[in-house]
Structure 1
Amino acid sequence: MKLPGHDAIARQPGDHLVAHRVKLPRAVVERPIRQVVKRLVMALVVLVATALVVYADRDGYQDNSDGPVDLLDAFYYATVTLSTTGYGDITPVSDSARLTNIFVITPLRVLFLIILVGTTLEVLTERTREEWRLNRWRSTLRDHTVVIGFGTKGRAAIQTVCATGLKKEQVVVVDPSSKAIEAATAEGYAGVIGDATRSDVLKGAEVHKARQIIVAPQRDDTSVLVTLTARQLNRGAKIVAAVREEENAPLLKQSGADAVITSSGAAGRLLGLSVLSPAAGMVMEDLIQQGSGLDLIERPVVRGEVGRKPRETDDLVVSVVRGHRVLGYDDPSVGTLQLTDRLITIVRASPGTRVTPDIRPLPHG
């Protein structure tokens, strides 16, 4: 497989390859344009109210240019007064007009300034708050799951791991598309916008502190480069990668992936099984959908099961993981279960409950 250089990987119009941006999930707030329009309307209401107050007491004001104060002059005076410009060409001369300026116009001026300055203060406060949230997020993030690519495969992978009890706060999505990251944050996941083949982008997702890494981009060459980069940053994490073509699976394993899933091959085998036996196809689809019907999980052997055969346990054991070997339940070399063994079992997913498998990454070598 020919691998293009980093600069040619996953490049899309408008994407930034060098810089990355972290977006954290947040509560739904008003759009900025709506906030600005709302403040603008409030400022106009204050301006109109001030102009009407001045016009109602227009006999107490003097226009140094043409004498009497009309409606236009009232709006002009309200504008220069609220903005603290104060040219002095229109002035209050009567006692009532001056009292009105003290007790009415001055509070309206303060309110007007609060509305205008409040917009700037809110922007600065929001930036400070976002920076604080980001720093706190980085400092507390440990043993999380990083998902590269928020397409069909990435979404399905996240749904599966979250169905086993993983919290959304422990998932970080990396994708070069800002729309994909917006969709991820809308669902409650943290997101990093950028090209995952670059180490600085993966560092932004705190890959070096991750426990699991799911590599599910759209292209096989991207999967290889992402896996290489991720393995270089984190030697102990469990890396699971997806490829479209089966011939690229060995290359991914050489790049550092602990497990490789061939998406096209798996889909084809499921199609073939469904043709031969629709019921068997339904069972297989049920097994790979975590949290409903039957679930396929990995768990450690408990002390009460030590010395028993796989078929003598309460669960339906499919395979036994012993060291780096995965043995069938009927493999003669299994013999009896040992405390260090792990079991691949089929269990019934109870409604309202979640099974949390204790999956340990195999040492990479």
Structure 2
Amino acid sequence: MRRLLAALLVLWVTVLLVYVDRDGYVDDVDGHMTFLDCLYYTTVTLSTTGYGDIAPGSDSARLVNALVITPLRVLFLIILIGTTLEALTDRTRQQWRLNRWRSALRDHTVVVGFGTKGRSAIQTLLSTGLGRDQVVVIDAYPQSVKAANAEGFAGVEGDATRSQVLVRAEVQRARQIVIAPQRDDTSVLVTLTARQLNPRIKIVAAVREEENAPLLRQSGADQVITSASAAGRLLGLAMLSPNASSVLEDLIQRGTGLDLKERPVTKAEAGRSPRECDDLVVSVVRGHRILAYDDPEAASLALTDRLVVIHRASRALPEPDERRGEPR
């Protein structure tokens, strides 16, 4: 806008100069210079078109053209060409940065939907040590993408049910995707598309209605969270056991009070019972089964097991090596 105003200023200054010295110009059409003729002469002169039907005739008009109008013409062209070159340069620079960003992006997390559920999921992931540069947000609303950019996340604007939008977010090279849109049918379509693009990606999706959860699992989701039912159960628990609901809310809010976490069995814990672990074991995950801590089958822990434990948020657990089950 500033450059446009500068170009218009140059144009009208030149028109004024020509109009003031209009008697020094020769018009081959009627021999008389009107304001419209001055405007016409200025536009064809500044744009270097130069039809020749109007030309400076007097010495003063030629001197003004040589010393004043010619520099204004150069300035006018610099404004126009400079704006064009800058636009092309910015686009090239942006495309180069985008290509470099995509080439360096590996094992990142994609979050579909930057609403309340998406924001909460991102905050939980960040509390585990995930970097903001490893999160890519997809949302159909430009203001949501801008909000994600303002918080330091890469954003992709578009419909996540379309494969080209997921490809722009590099879903094919992502480690996990959180699907939290406003509609259940959108969750199903995004899950199907993401699973097709990346068969190995971990998919966690949210639905509003519990009846849609089986359909989402059949579509390829690893975990399905029913937001409406979960909220309803918390409300019921708060009525029956207010303190228990407070503890449960504290468990799912990572970073404060008590934290709930899933981790592999360490080498030192192999062969021991869940009660002998340093952390409070809630469940033992063995294969595709979840065993209670007091289940006879979980009496002896194996290296291939995973533990769901409760620990204080102020006490950091050792990050285990997924391949050996040992802390790093």
- Give the Cα separation in 1 of the matches to 2:93 and 2:292: 54
* Deviation of the 1:265 alpha carbon: 1.2
- Give the Cα separation in 1 of the matches to 2:298 and 2:116: 38
Pair 1:285 & 2:254 matched: no
- Give the Cα separation in 1 of the matches to 2:128 and 2:10: 55
Pair 1:163 & 2:120 matched: no
Equivalence for 1:299: 263
Q: Could you tell me whether the CA contact under 8 Å between 1:169 and 1:190 is conserved in 2? A: no
Q: Could you tell me whether the CA contact under 8 Å between 1:184 and 1:191 is conserved in 2? A: no
Structure 2: which 5+ runs fail to align? 323-328
- Give the Cα separation in 2 of the matches to 1:268 and 1:325: 26
Equivalence for 2:154: 189
Equivalence for 2:229: 265
- Give the Cα separation in 1 of the matches to 2:11 and 2:186: 58
Pair 1:247 & 2:211 matched: yes
Equivalence for 1:145: 109
* Deviation of the 1:267 alpha carbon: 0.5
Equivalence for 2:325: none
Identity of aligned residues (%): 64
Equivalence for 1:89: 54
Q: Could you tell me whether the CA contact under 8 Å between 1:172 and 1:189 is conserved in 2? A: yes
Which deviates the most, 223-232 or 73-82?
Answer: 73-82
Equivalence for 1:216: 180
* Deviation of the 1:67 alpha carbon: 8.7
Equivalence for 1:117: 81
Aligned residue runs from structure 1 range 1-365, under 5 A:
37-50=1-14, 58=21, 62-65=24-27, 78-86=42-50, 87=52, 89-91=54-56, 93-94=58-59, 98=62, 101-187=65-151, 188-196=153-161, 198-350=162-314
Q: Which AA in structure 1 matches 2:261?
A: I
* Deviation of the 1:112 alpha carbon: 0.9
Cα distance change of structure 1 residues 253 and 63 upon mapping to structure 2, 3 Å threshold: closer
Higher relative contact order (CA 8 A, sep 6+): 1
Equivalence for 1:17: none
Equivalence for 2:326: none
Q: Could you tell me whether the CA contact under 8 Å between 1:298 and 1:358 is conserved in 2? A: no
Q: Could you tell me whether the CA contact under 8 Å between 2:209 and 2:226 is conserved in 1? A: yes
- Give the Cα separation in 2 of the matches to 1:253 and 1:41: 58
Q: Could you tell me whether the CA contact under 8 Å between 1:294 and 1:348 is conserved in 2? A: yes
Q: Could you tell me whether the CA contact under 8 Å between 2:156 and 2:165 is conserved in 1? A: no
RMSD: 3.6
Q: Which AA in structure 2 matches 1:141?
A: L
Cα distance change of structure 1 residues 82 and 229 upon mapping to structure 2, 3 Å threshold: closer
How high is the TM-score relative to the length of structure 2? 0.78
User: Deviation digits for residues 193-213 of structure 1, max 9, x if unmatched?
Assistant: 1251x4444334332222112
* Deviation of the 1:260 alpha carbon: 1.5
- Give the Cα separation in 2 of the matches to 1:358 and 1:201: 34
Question: In structure 2, the residue corresponding to 1:242 is in which secondary structure?
Answer: strand
- Give the Cα separation in 1 of the matches to 2:148 and 2:164: 20
- Give the Cα separation in 2 of the matches to 1:216 and 1:269: 20
* Deviation of the 1:165 alpha carbon: 2.4
Which deviates the most, 270-279 or 81-90?
Answer: 81-90
Q: Which AA in structure 1 matches 2:205?
A: A
Q: Name the count of aligned residue pairs.
A: 318
Structure 1: which 5+ runs fail to align? 1-36, 361-365
- Give the Cα separation in 1 of the matches to 2:292 and 2:107: 30
How high is the TM-score relative to the length of structure 1? 0.71
Q: Could you tell me whether the CA contact under 8 Å between 2:26 and 2:57 is conserved in 1? A: no
Question: In structure 2, the residue corresponding to 1:330 is in which secondary structure?
Answer: coil
- Give the Cα separation in 2 of the matches to 1:243 and 1:160: 19
- Give the Cα separation in 2 of the matches to 1:72 and 1:171: 59
User: Deviation digits for residues 162-199 of structure 1, max 9, x if unmatched?
Assistant: 33222333233334445544444444232141251x44
